[in-house]
Amino acid sequence: MKNSLIIGLVVLALVLAGALAGVKVRDRLPKHHLSDETKNLVSVSTAVVATISALVLGLLISNANTSFTRLGGEVTTLSAEILRLDQILRRYGADAEPARETLVQYAEHKAADLFPDDAGNVRLSNPSTYELLQRLEDMLLALKPANPRDQWWLGQAMTLAAKIGDTRWLLAQQIGQGTPKAFVALLVFWLALLFASFGLFAPRNLTSAVTLTLCALAVAGAVAMFLELEQGFGGVVRISPEPSRRWRPEPSDQNSP
**Residue type for 88, please?**
I
Residue of higher predicted confidence among 20 and 2: 20
Instruction: Kindly report whether the global pTM for this prediction surpasses the value 0.85.
Output: no
Residue 54 has pLDDT above 70, yes or no: yes
C-beta of residue 81 within 8 angstroms of C-beta of residue 163: yes
Across all residues in the chain, what is the average pLDDT?
85
pLDDT for res 151: 92
Domain presence at residue 254: no
Displacement of CA 170 from its chain's centroid (Å): 14
Domain presence at residue 232: yes
C-beta of residue 200 within 8 angstroms of C-beta of residue 41: no
* Residues with Cβ within 8 Å of residue 108, at least 6 apart in sequence: 247, 248
Domain presence at residue 50: yes
Domain count of the fold of the chain: 1
Residues 114 and 23: their CA atoms lie apart, in Å, by 47
Domain residues for 204? 2-246
Residue (of 148, 187, 171, 191) closest to 231 by Cα position:
171
Domain presence at residue 96: yes
Domain presence at residue 257: no
Domain presence at residue 22: yes
Each residue's pLDDT tens digit, 206-244: 888 999 999 999 999 999 988 888 877 766 777 877 777
pLDDT for res 255: 42
Domain presence at residue 255: no
Domain presence at residue 253: no
Residue of higher predicted confidence among 46 and 125: 46
